[in-house]
Amino acid sequence: MDDRHEVNWQPLSMVPTISDMVADALADSREHVLTLMAALDRPYSLADEDLDRSHRVYTEQLEFVAIYTGQIARWRAVELSPDQRQVIDRIDADNAELLPLTWQVLAIVETLRGLTIEAVMKMTDLELGLDALARGTAKP
């Protein structure tokens, strides 16, 4: 969301929907971190396009985390039932976990940049050899 778009704050009736959205984003982010971490051993299995998409999606997710934070604060400003308070507390906890996880995805994406199949294909034999030695993957 850029500064030109106004946020549509949600009524309390949307608590279950927002709860599901945050929980789904958290589960997807956990899975994506594991996938990217596995790719660290074989970064050439990724294309630049893969990393570009992850960067775009998770940069946008950072914006949603900020919106969720604002939404949670607005909901807390009204009188809540104990059940509503409990669900909002869970959304808040999930959202708090989502922020560093999103940053972790973006950091891994940046680590993988320059190591994709396109980058490998542009390397000279000397560069490939030096890279293999630096990674400890060169075979005698």
What's the confidence (pLDDT) of residue 139? Answer: 53
53 contacts 125 by C-beta, under 8 angstroms: no
What are the pLDDT digits (tens) for 52-64? Answer: 999 999 999 999 9
What are the pLDDT digits (tens) for 4-13? Answer: 679 999 999 9
| Contacting residues for 58 by C-beta, under 8 A, at least 6 apart | 29, 32, 102, 105, 106, 109
Residue of 50, 71, 59 lying closest to 2 (CA atoms): 59
What are the pLDDT digits (tens) for 52-100? Answer: 999 999 999 999 999 999 999 999 999 999 999 999 999 999 999 999 9
62 contacts 138 by C-beta, under 8 angstroms: no
SS3 75: helix
Here the tokens at position 39 are 């790719």
What's the confidence (pLDDT) of residue 57? Answer: 98
What's the confidence (pLDDT) of residue 113? Answer: 86
| Contacting residues for 27 by C-beta, under 8 A, at least 6 apart | none
